[in-house]
Structure 1
Amino acid sequence: MPKNIFIEDIMVRDVACATLPGSRDEVLKILKNKHISGVPVLKDSKVVGIVTRTNLLQNPEEEQLALLMTREPITISPGSDLQTASRLLLQHGIRRLPVVDNGKLVGLVTVADVVGAIADMNIDTPIKDYVEKEVVAIYNETPLPVVARIMELASVKAVPVLDASLELVGIISDRDIISASIIEDSVEMSDMSSGQDDDAWTWESMRDTMSIYYSVSRIKVPNLIGNDIMIKEPITATYIASISDCARKMKRNRIDQIPIINSNRKLQGLLRDHDLLKPLIES
């Protein structure tokens, strides 16, 4: 297995970024337009955070970028090797590493970039030992807000979709949910009393109240069903497929996971892009 692949060889150099102060709407626009799942956050040209689709979905009412982002992100240098990047991505359960040289952002390396390198390595080890067999799957007529909540509770970024006969008919990722989501503005009211609870002269029925109206902006998952937005006829594989074969499928189709099925199209497990990194750090 090659040992001389360095981060500067595979990193993305033209990096989409968000800057402080910034807003959720600006980030959402970048993610949708660039078809990416997260961006570094800069302040005075230094990396101070990472903001992802997960941050947006878990905090639908938060608008300030500084409160949405994950602070003090793990970074890597351009001279580090592929194994070091794989170890960091797996150890911290993250999808991207800002590449920093002398305190300056010079690139970004993602799980997809590492998978792209694996695709060229011709690793013929079967995927069977790396497939996740405990998989959260949903019924194709499940309401989309319920799908989003299931994914949040299960801490997964994609779910296979099954029909009534338990056959695999699609897959839904957080990318699909974000693409379908909208920003919803509303006005809410809060009643505030001018009396105090410990004021003996203030009766509940006579207490003066003051109504405060304020605007709320939140990300809303539309009232669709899984079948409406799922990727139909997803790319699949079987247990005997090799590591590099699956990496090539992910790279070619720009996907992060592959459902594993048997000859009857029954779901057996899910191979995530993170799983393909494991052979690199085992060698």
Structure 2
Amino acid sequence: MKRSVPVKDAMIVKVVTVGPSKTVAKAAEMMAENGIGSLVIVRKNKPIGIITERDLLEKVVSSDLKASEVRVSSVMSKPLITVTPNTDMLDAMRTMVKNRIRRLPVVEGEKLVGIVTAQDVTEVSHQILEVVPEHEEIESKGEVEESVCEVCGEARKSLSEWNGKWICDECRDYLVG
């Protein structure tokens, strides 16, 4: 009997948010204080974008902009790609891979109710594999077409099994040499 793993079973419910008029310096400070790699941008309690560590590096630091003068709204990633709490984790994972993202806000209606990350996918990957119809075929081939690396947490198109973990080529090259 198949059973799905809904996003609500793995999502983080305490999402740290920031308004679009805050500075990038304030956003970076909030990320550091909370030990997180992203903030969801909200306007009137509605999620409108996301800012990640990568956004800070690619859009602020690499352009030598002054973080205390740049507004979050000018560097946030938008439109916001989201899922609902009842979305199957396998579908959420596919959305992450397709869009090359590692964080996926969870909304109900227009309300932000959580966030699911690549790390969350990794933590429930054993449950996901139980519901994947071709699970036995995956095990026998020793390769996965689309998943999340259990070492770096990155969504990758091709993973290989190494020492009981599904890892990407980059991590395999690093670990094996």
When the two structures are superposed, what TM-score results if normalisation uses the length of structure 1? 0.46
- Mapped to 2, the partners of 1:86 and 1:125 lie a distance apart of 19
Instruction: Flag the 1:240–1:127 CA change in 2: closer, same or farther, 3 A.
Output: farther
Match of 2:91, SS state, is helix
Give the CA deviation at 1:82: 1.2
Does the CA contact (< 8 Å) of 1:38 and 1:50 recur in 2?
yes
Match of 1:108, SS state, is strand
Give the CA deviation at 1:49: 0.4
Give the CA deviation at 1:128: 5.3
- Counterpart code for 1:241: N
Question: Is 1:241 aligned to 2:153, yes or no?
Answer: no
Match of 1:112, SS state, is helix
Does the CA contact (< 8 Å) of 1:127 and 1:239 recur in 2?
no
More helix by share: 2
- % same residue: 22
Instruction: Flag the 1:47–1:24 CA change in 2: closer, same or farther, 3 A.
Output: same
Deviations 1:176-205 (A, max 9, x none): xxxxxxxxxxxxxxxxxxxxxxxxxxxxxx
Question: Is 1:89 aligned to 2:96, yes or no?
Answer: yes
What is the match of residue 125 of structure 1? Answer: 139
Give the CA deviation at 1:127: 8.9
Instruction: Flag the 1:257–1:30 CA change in 2: closer, same or farther, 3 A.
Output: farther
The Cα RMSD (Å) is 3.1
Match of 2:56, SS state, is helix
Question: Is 1:64 aligned to 2:78, yes or no?
Answer: no
Instruction: Flag the 1:239–1:66 CA change in 2: closer, same or farther, 3 A.
Output: same
Aligned residues: 150
What is the match of residue 120 of structure 2? Answer: 113
- Counterpart code for 2:17: C
Structure 2 unpaired stretches of 5+: 146-151, 153-159
Matches within 5 A, 1:22-171: 22-58=22-58, 59-60=60-61, 61=65, 63-120=70-127, 121=129, 125=139, 129-130=143-144
Give the CA deviation at 1:258: 7.7
Give the CA deviation at 1:75: 0.7
Match of 1:260, SS state, is helix
Instruction: Flag the 1:50–1:246 CA change in 2: closer, same or farther, 3 A.
Output: same
- Counterpart code for 1:32: A
When the two structures are superposed, what TM-score results if normalisation uses the length of structure 2? 0.71
Does the CA contact (< 8 Å) of 1:126 and 1:241 recur in 2?
no
Structure 1 unpaired stretches of 5+: 132-170, 172-237, 248-255, 268-283
Give the CA deviation at 1:29: 1.0
Match of 1:70, SS state, is coil
